[in-house]
Amino acid sequence: MDAVHMPNEASGGLGSRLPVPERTWLAQYDPGVPAEVEIPEVTVDALLRHSAAEFPARAALAFFGRETSFAELDRQVDLFAGFLQRNGLGPGDCVSLHLPTCPAFVVAFLGTLRAGCIAAPMSPLLVERELEGLLGQTRPRLSVVMDVLAPRVRSAREALGEVLRTPTGLSGIIATGLQDSMPAPIRWLYPIKARREGRWHPVPHTPETPNLFRLVTAASSPATTVRVDSPARPADPAVFQGTGGTTGLPKEAVLTHRNLVANAVQCQAVMAGEHGEASAVLCTLPFFHIYGLTVAMNFALVIGATQVLLPKPDPEMTLKAIDRYHPRYFPGIPSFYAALLAQPDLGRHDLRSIEACISGAAPLPGPVQEQFEALTGGRLCEGYGLTEASPVTHVNPVRGGGRHGTIGLPLPGTDACLVDLATGDRVREAGQVGELWVRGPQVMSGYYERPGETERILREGWLHTGDLATMDADGYFSIVGRIKDLIIVSGANVYPREVEEVLMLHPAVDDTVVIGIPSQQKGQVPKAFVVLKAGAAATEAELKEFCTANLASYKRPASIEIRASLPRSFVGKVLRRELIADQAAGTTDTTAS
């Protein structure tokens, strides 16, 4: 693959207050990890094309025992891309994807890009009102959906009427089911089980609403040679990725082919993923989220690895997949690693094949990291990213070292600095708090049709993350909170992360989050929500006493509410806005013990 070198360019417009960072973190890199990476000048779908040419017979996908070779996957992607082009779709057209992690997602996503179109992955959990908002923004000409979601997506499309342009002869919906990708006899048994559980809602397959895999099969024959060359260029948009950004308002980040390829290659550099070496990546993360899309799917395409696909993060299903495929790489979220460690039959499974895991979306608890590494013999490393950066910008060294409680070091080719909120000057002293700014080839081109929002967050190539962080003398960064989550108590700054870390040290605490609540005397005061460990007991008074011994008086929670659980997103992030809304409405969790 042709490549382009990404140099550390000066910003040219930030003035003397924000010079190019010294990159003190380079000295902490694992041996062999470069300061810069060579970014191939290719589109994302070309990553598959190259791996298919090198390893045609190797399994690209594994799904409940059914394997798809790189050559076959490349052919299916060609066929779907050809279908789109024959129906008038091309550069600038959008195709929305409403699918879990499964072969259909991979085929539809890469086929969309190979046709020159833009993919808009969306969570299958969205309700009709939310779908209408996102479909209205991205205006997809087609939607590829899981069969059970077809009525919901069709209703949302119909509600938007003329906003969505539909190709001639199609209803706008292409459907598929998990059973389409399963091997026999599971393919025949799955509908029976789903029907018993009330989850069987087959969609009639007609020329207007075709089935994805029947469509691909019908377009092929043994004598047919299929080859579709993408009209897209590396600088073209590849993905509209929904995000709340730093404001919480729904918008679509525009990620180019170069952004996505760059971030996958950067992850390869730090993960020690050797291109061409037979290995497997365990894919429990949702591909409709940028985290799973990059660190699982695209990373596997770059190194030519087998993607072991699981449609949902089920611990029992995951352990069976590890037994069968012996994956080397297992990106995930802290809560799921913890769920695996809690499995009663964990000792019956051999996890020693796992060598490297990037943990993201939430802080990684020390005990989870220690137990997981002891069990597997591999490395579990906390990282950091955001949708607007494709998403990874930082990670702890994978092969050794690293510092718990930090998000690690900037990726190769990535600059990072901290900026004082009051002065706009770059923070220079170790341990001093500032807003984290990042810059690199993975940073988005902007928000779709939101120039004002783009200008506010993206300036001179620097992405303003909205996260407050510190950096130590060696270049390790630590997140202390979000700007919007900062609690100001009588003029003093309180960072929720610090209070949460103290509460997590209590032996009875399993999970916690801290928010700011109004106070007539102090402006704001902290309030903590706590989940206790199974079988553990603690009162609000006991937890407050623990905070008194470990926190300055202005940082201590004014109240502590013990709950049965905390609201979290599908990638494990605590939904603070729900807790804030509950607080405003005077709601408490009456199910807590």
Residue-level pLDDT at 211: 86
Reduced to 3 states (helix: H, G, I; strand: E, B; else coil), residue 450 is coil
pTM: 0.84
Distance in angstroms (rounded) separating the CA atoms of residues 579 and 585:
10
pLDDT the model gives residue 216? 81
Q: H or E stretch including 488?
A: strand 487-489
pLDDT (0 to 100) of residue 570: 67
User: Containing domain of residue 538, as a range?
Assistant: 486-585
Q: Residue 528's domain is classified under what CATH number?
A: 3.30.300.30
* Tens of pLDDT, residues 458-507: 998 999 999 999 999 999 999 988 887 878 887 677 878 888 888 999 99
pLDDT confidence bin for 321, thresholds 50/70/90 = very high
Reported confidence tier of residue 188, pLDDT bands at 50, 70, 90: low
Q: Is residue 326 part of a domain?
A: no
Report the number of distinct structural domains present in the chain: 1
Residues of the chain above pLDDT 70, percent = 90
pLDDT surpassing 90 at residue 6: no
Residue 12 has pLDDT above 80, yes or no: no
Query: In 3D, which of 103, 118, 201 has the Cα closest to residue 152?
Result: 201
Domain assignment of residue 479, yes or no: no
How high is the pLDDT of residue 220?
A: 61
Which tens digit of pLDDT belongs to each residue from 228-287? 888 999 999 999 999 865 455 678 999 999 999 999 999 999 987 666 677 999 999 999
Segment 333-354 shows an average pLDDT of 93
pLDDT value, residue 385: 95
Quick one: pLDDT at residue 590? Answer: 39
Overall average pLDDT of the 366-393 stretch: 95
Is pLDDT at 5 greater than 60 in this prediction?
Answer: no
Q: What is the 3-state secondary structure (H, E, C) of 182-206?
A: CCCCHHHHHHHHHHHCCCCCCCCCC
The reply to whether 494 falls in a domain is yes
* Tens-place pLDDT, residues 19-67: 556 899 999 999 999 999 999 999 999 999 999 999 999 999 999 999 9
Please indicate, yes or no, if residue 285 is contained in any of the structural domains: no
- Which is higher by pLDDT, 387 or 497? 387
What does the pLDDT read at residue 225?
A: 61
Q: How much of the chain, in percent, has pLDDT values that exceed 90?
A: 61
What does the pLDDT average to over 317-338?
Answer: 94
Q: Over 80: is that where the pLDDT of 127 sits?
A: yes
Give residue 593's pLDDT band: very low, low, confident or very high (50, 70, 90). Answer: very low
* pLDDT value of residue 170: 79
521 CB burial (10 A radius; 0-12, 13-18, 19+): exposed
- Angle between helix axes 44-54 and 70-86 (nearest 10 degrees) is 140
Q: Does residue 578 belong to any structural domain of this protein?
A: yes
Please give the average per-residue pLDDT across 71-92, as a whole number. 93
* Per-residue pLDDT at 10: 36
Q: What is the pLDDT of residue 552?
A: 81
SS (H, E, C) 76-145: HHHHHHHHHHHCCCCCCCEEEEECCCCHHHHHHHHHHHHCCCEEEECCCCCCHHHHHHHHHHHCCCEEEE
Residue 345 amino acid letter: D
Q: Which two tokens stand for residue 158?
A: 């119909």
The mean predicted confidence, pLDDT, of the chain is: 87
**Per-residue pLDDT, 591:** 40
| Overall average pLDDT of the 402-413 stretch | 94
Q: Which of 242-246, 449-453, 516-520, 564-568 has the lowest mean pLDDT?
A: 242-246
Q: Would 521 be classed as within a structural domain?
A: yes
- Taking only the tens place, the pLDDT of each residue in 409-436 is 999 999 999 999 888 888 878 889 999 9
